[in-house]
């Protein structure tokens, strides 16, 4: 359903004509899950990369032209590894953006490390960038489950809720949430008294909900994406659970509300700024950046409201370009691909206070996540809308 407007095409062509002759080329290779179970995340990610390619073409201030090469890994680790290899050896990219899910991102660690190519991952898992000493070449843009769960557990502690139950997807997304909850709960002194699993394609969530309700938790944390996250929430209400229900950022999209409707009123979600940017004070630097991105994306791809996933690849692309510009300014040459890769990597660690869609990034040699509490918010479903919770 792509419709490239004539204007954009003309702009692209003139820009390319203007800049192509003189400037060297920065090649950004990316591998996302355009098909397979993670395609709901991967497709928007690809969209954002396409959008960035179009926008960049008209930016003449850059010392280079940017070429994006994107492959599909079908959510499969083997394909991810092969695709990244192709990008590195055949397409000679300067930087890689990969991959959509944690297992695929983990699978390519060896490959990029051995080839000494910087990689910006789009996965949620903490393990992708930790321990940092083993992840010299790997960075990531999405927030971690850790950060988002932390903000939610903090709220639980504030309310005096000591016992939490976990309901999560049985795939790697759900597992990420489980691992995060376990470590955060332990650190904050909250006890996990029940843990149940379900699948995206299940038709009945009532037994798990019943088990959880019977354990009488003070709070319930659901780590899933719609439709299952909304349906589990509904099931919990139906078996008589009345306490607070927290959700991961996976539920932070319109499908959650349109499926759950009145039943998900009051749900509390840990989320990136993308969901609630409109309610942020104008003084918050994130607001302007996200507003601009949202307008561009929503218009270009004809969606009513942008989700969190495209922002992640948008940020990855922008950060890569920023680091590349800095590297060129410091004297690195794009033609010397191997050396440039190392230089780009160094400049990535030098990214400071970069206001992006997913938050404010501060990379360093010990921090390849780059985000902190300033980039995490709690959102509440109020009157069928996502609203900032307790005005942070």
Where do contacts with other proteins occur on this chain (CB under 8 A)?
2, 34-36, 39-40, 43, 46, 50, 69-72, 74-79, 81-82, 85-86, 89-90, 102-103, 106-107, 109-110, 125, 127, 170-172, 174-176, 196-204, 206-208, 210-211, 214, 226-227, 231, 238-239, 255, 258-259
Q: How far is the CB of 223 from other proteins (least distance, A)?
A: 13
What is the rounded distance in angstroms from the CA atom of residue 16 to the CA atom of residue 85? 28
Helices (H), the chain: 6-20, 39-57, 77-85, 102-107, 109-115, 145-158, 172-188, 206-214, 228-238, 254-260, 285-301, 308-329, 337-349
Nearest approach, Cβ of residue 347 and other proteins (Å): 27
Q: How far is the CB of 28 from other proteins (least distance, A)?
A: 14
Give the count of beta carbons closer than 10 Å to the beta carbon of residue 293. Answer: 24
Q: Rounded to whole angstroms, how far apart are CA atoms 292 and 259?
A: 28
Walk across the sheet containing 95-98 and list its strands.
65-72, 25-32, 95-98, 119-121, 138-140
Minimum CB separation from other proteins for residue 90, in Å?
A: 5
- Cβ closest to other proteins, residue 192 vs residue 210: 210
Give 200 or 392: the residue with its C-beta nearer to other proteins: 200
Q: How far is the CB of 116 from other proteins (least distance, A)?
A: 14
The CA-CA-CA angle for residues 230, 301, 71, to 5°, reads 90
Residue 26: C-alpha distances to residues 66, 210, 320, 327, 354 (Å): 5, 55, 10, 11, 20
Measured from the CB atom, is 287 or 300 closer to other proteins?
A: 300
Looking at residue 120, the DSSP 8-state letter turns out to be E
Work out how close the CB of 11 gets to other proteins at its nearest, in angstroms, rounded to a whole number. 18
CB of 42 to other proteins, least distance (A): 8
Report the residue number, 68 or 314, with the smaller CB distance to other proteins.
68
Return the number of the residue (235 or 351) whose C-beta is nearest other proteins. 235
Pick the closest to residue 142 from 27, 283, 45 (CA basis): 45
Q: Within 10 A of 127 (CB to CB), how many other CB atoms are there?
A: 15
- Gyration radius from the chain CA atoms: 21
Nearer to other proteins, 15 or 303 (CB): 303
Residue among 261 and 292 whose Cβ is closer to other proteins: 261
């Amino acid at each position: 359903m792509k419709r490239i407007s004539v204007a954009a095409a003309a702009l692209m062509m003139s820009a390319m004509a203007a800049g192509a002759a003189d400037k060297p080329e920065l090649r950004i290779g990316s591998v996302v899950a355009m098909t397979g179970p993670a395609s709901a995340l991967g497709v928007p990610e690809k969209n954002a990369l396409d959008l960035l390619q179009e926008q960049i073409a008209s930016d003449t201030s850059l010392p280079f032209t940017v070429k994006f090469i994107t492959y599909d890994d079908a959510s499969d680790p083997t394909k991810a590894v092969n695709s990244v290899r192709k990008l590195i050896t055949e397409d000679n990219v300067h930087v890689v953006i990969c991959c959509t899910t944690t297992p695929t991102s983990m699978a390519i660690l060896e490959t990029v490390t051995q080839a000494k190519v910087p990689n910006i991952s789009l996965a949620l898992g903490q393990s992708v960038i930790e321990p940092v000493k083993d992840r010299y070449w790997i960075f990531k843009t999405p927030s971690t489950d850790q950060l988002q769960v932390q903000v939610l557990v903090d709220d639980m502690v504030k309310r005096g809720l000591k016992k939490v139950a976990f309901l999560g997807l049985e795939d790697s997304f759900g597992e990420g949430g489980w691992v995060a909850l376990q470590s955060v709960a332990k650190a904050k002194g909250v006890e996990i008294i029940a843990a149940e699993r379900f699948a995206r394609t299940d038709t009945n969530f009532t037994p798990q909900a019943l088990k959880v309700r019977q354990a009488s938790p003070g709070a319930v944390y659901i780590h899933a994406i719609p439709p299952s996250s909304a349906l589990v929430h509904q099931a919990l209400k139906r078996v008589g659970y009345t306490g607070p229900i927290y959700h991961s950022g996976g539920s932070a999209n319109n499908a959650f509300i349109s499926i759950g409707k009145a039943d998900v009123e009051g749900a509390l979600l840990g989320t990136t700024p993308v969901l609630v940017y409109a309610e942020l004070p104008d003084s918050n630097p994130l607001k302007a950046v996200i507003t601009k991105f949202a307008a561009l994306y929503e218009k270009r791809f004809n969606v009513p409201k942008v989700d969190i996933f495209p922002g992640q690849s948008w940020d990855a692309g922008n950060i890569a370009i920023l680091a590349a510009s800095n590297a060129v300014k410091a004297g690195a040459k794009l033609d010397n691909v191997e050396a440039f890769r190392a230089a780009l990597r160094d400049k990535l660690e030098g990214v400071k206070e970069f206001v992006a869609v997913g938050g404010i990034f501060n990379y360093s040699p010990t921090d390849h996540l780059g985000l902190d509490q300033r980039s995490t918010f709690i959102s509440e479903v109020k009157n069928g809308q996502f609203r900032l919770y307790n005005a942070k």
